[in-house]
Amino acid sequence: MSAASAVVEHDLRTNSGDIAARIFAFARFVRASGLPIGISENVDAARVAEICGVTDSERLRWGLRSLFCKTRDDWERFDELFDRFWSTDQPRTKVAVIEGRGRGIRGAGTDRDAGGTAVNEAADGLAAGSGTAQSGASAREGIAHQDFRHFTQAEELRALAALVERLAMRMRRRAMNRLKISKSGRRLDFRTTIRRSLAYGGVPLKPAFRLHKRRQPKLVLLLDVSGSMNLYSMLFLRFARAVTRAFDRVEVFLFHTSLVRVTEALAERSIDRMKQSMEVISAGWAGGTRIGASIAELNERYAARVLSGQPIVIVVSDGLDTGPPAQLTQELRELRRRARRLVWLNPLLGREGYAPSAKGMSAALPYLDAFLPAHNLASLEALEPYLVSL
């Protein structure tokens, strides 16, 4: 740092005539490297230089850092930018222009109503990311409606997983907008106000208010991670993870031959740690799918904590059950009793010629409020009403 500082001081002293120009050039350089420098920053930069004095480069560094940085990421990159600009040894090239994430998303968020659905936007992103030659609408159409199992390249899958997460975040934004409207419903409760006023000779000294508040319903997600769901499990896990973060009250379970609660593991910030926790949790599972037994476990062990307050329960499974159908029927009836809504998502439902004829699936049908496909982005987005409505 000291070497660079010396250079700054030298640079500034020898060019004292046009300090303002040098600072301005630095602002342009920083801007080119992806920090959001606007006009007001440029104006203030000159004042910062004046206030901090240009003879002490560390002070200038700290001053400009507070002015130019707007997020922690910016903060962590600033020192390098500063050193690179003021040092003459290194070529003044841009430092790692931020790629499409971060600011791009936030920017897109502000004009989210400008056109198209989340899926369309998301699909656009994927089309651009994977370098598809097709143009806008048709590519987007293709991706939104393509079955997840047709995405085979690791790269495509990663991009898709990211899209699925973004989709969940978008849903939350909209949910929040709806909640806001209800929050402003602060109305005078006339009846109580008049009643209370009796004590003061008819003067309503203590007005009563009614707070009209809607709460988001609780969500319980049950994900089938058996071998037959192999193609879809990881995607749904990512979706569940994003939903956990985006919504307040979500519980997530995985099942296979038995049931495990993974809400906490999903809340891990880093994906690596999440995977680690998942591996520990799901170690030692044998083949086969016992949906009935798994739901029985939910009903028995988690009923009080998880199933209280009329949650919306979403089961994601292909319905290929190796357990007795009678058990599944019974447990679903029990679950249905506690749930506000019971939704079953079946990735197979989107395939042509599929009929829910598997024993387990047909046994489950009478107890479901909705039986929906979940094999592409469009079908995931169609879930939104179930996540946010009452």
Applying CB under 8 A, which residues contact other proteins? 36, 38, 40, 44, 47-48, 50-52, 58-59, 62-63, 65-67, 69-72, 74-76, 103, 106-107, 110, 176, 180, 183-184, 186, 203-207
* Residue bearing tokens 């507070």: 66
User: Cβ 174 to other proteins, closest distance in Å?
Assistant: 12
Residue with Cβ nearer other proteins (203 or 280): 203
In one-letter notation, the amino acid at residue 36 is P
User: Cβ 225 to other proteins, closest distance in Å?
Assistant: 24
Q: Is 347 left (phi over 0), alpha (psi -120 to 50) or beta?
A: alpha
User: Cβ 117 to other proteins, closest distance in Å?
Assistant: 21
> How would you class 258 by CB atoms within 10 Å of its CB: exposed for 0-12, middle for 13-18, buried for 19 or more?
middle
- Does the CA dihedral 242-244-247-251 come out positive or negative? positive
Residue with Cβ nearer other proteins (157 or 260): 260
Q: What contacts 281, CB < 8 A, 6 or more positions away?
A: 254, 260, 262, 265
- Does the CA dihedral 272-151-385-357 come out positive or negative? negative
Residue with Cβ nearer other proteins (113 or 352): 113
User: Cβ 245 to other proteins, closest distance in Å?
Assistant: 11
- What DSSP designation does 107 have? H
DSSP sequence for 123-146: HHHHHHHTT--S-HHHHHHHHHHS
User: Cβ 325 to other proteins, closest distance in Å?
Assistant: 40
User: Cβ 77 to other proteins, closest distance in Å?
Assistant: 12
Residue with Cβ nearer other proteins (6 or 176): 176
**Coil, strand or helix at 342:** strand
- What DSSP designation does 312 have? E
User: Cβ 71 to other proteins, closest distance in Å?
Assistant: 7
Residue with Cβ nearer other proteins (71 or 308): 71
Residue with Cβ nearer other proteins (40 or 357): 40
Residue with Cβ nearer other proteins (59 or 149): 59
Residue pair 346/374 in contact by the 8 Å Cβ criterion: yes
